[in-house]
Every structure is written in C-alpha cells, then in structure tokens.
Amino acid sequence: MFDAFNTSCKQASRLLSESREHPLPFLKMAQLKAHLKVCDACAEFQKQLAGLHEIFGLYSKVINKFPLSDGPILSNEAKARMKATLMN
C-alpha cells in the first residue's frame, strides 16, 4: 500500500497511541493525518484504541457483577482473619 510521506503503519500506529497521551507536535500530526487518509488498517486501529478505552473503562464495574462460582475466592482462614481484625 502507498504510504504518505513514507510513514509506515508501525510508525503511524505508534503516533495514534501516543496521541491519546498528549497532543502531537504539528509535524507529527500532519504526518499521521496524511497516512490515515490512505490507510484503512490504521484508521481501524484508531477506532480500536477508542474501543479499548471504552472496554477497559467498564472493566472494574463489570468484573464485579458476575457470579463467583468459577472465580478465585478467599479461603475460610483469610475470611476468619479479616473478621477477627475488623471486630477488634
């Protein structure tokens, strides 16, 4: 695939990831925008970064609502220890 300004997907995807952490310098932003215009894979990667953000934003809410039957649980000893500590 033709790469605008010879930017590779490897470079562009790194800039996309970095752009979620801080505003990119002007030239890097221009380089990235040019690449995104001609590269479907990176355009999709950009959406997936937003998707990952959405998914992991839900993680701590969701992970706590499913039944515990198959998850690790506290041992009875640990529970007894905690109760004893809390009652003191």
Partner 1 sequence: MTNSAINPENWVEAHGDILYRYALSRVRDQQAAENLVQETFLAGLKSAASFSGQSAERTWLIAILKHKIIDFLRQSYREKPVTDLKSEEQSIDEFFDETGHFKKEPTVWDVDSALLSEKKEFWQTVQDCLQKLPPKTADVFSLREIDQVDSKEICKLLNISSTNLWVILHRARLHLRRCLELNWFESQKGRP
CB of 37 to partner 1, least distance (A): 16
End-to-end CA distance of the chain: 68
Which residues inside 7-46 make contact with partner 1, applying CB under 8 A? 8-11, 13-14, 17-18, 20-22, 41-42, 44-45
How many of the other CB atoms lie within 10 Å of CB of 16? 20
Of residues 8 and 30, the one with the C-beta less far from partner 1: 8
Identity of residue 12: A
Decide if residue 57 touches partner 1 (CB under 8 A): yes
Decide if residue 2 touches partner 1 (CB under 8 A): no
CB of 69 to partner 1, least distance (A): 11
Q: Which residues bind partner 1 (CB under 8 A)?
A: 1, 3, 8-11, 13-14, 17-18, 20-22, 41-42, 44-45, 47-49, 51-64, 66, 68, 71-74, 78-79, 81-83, 85-87
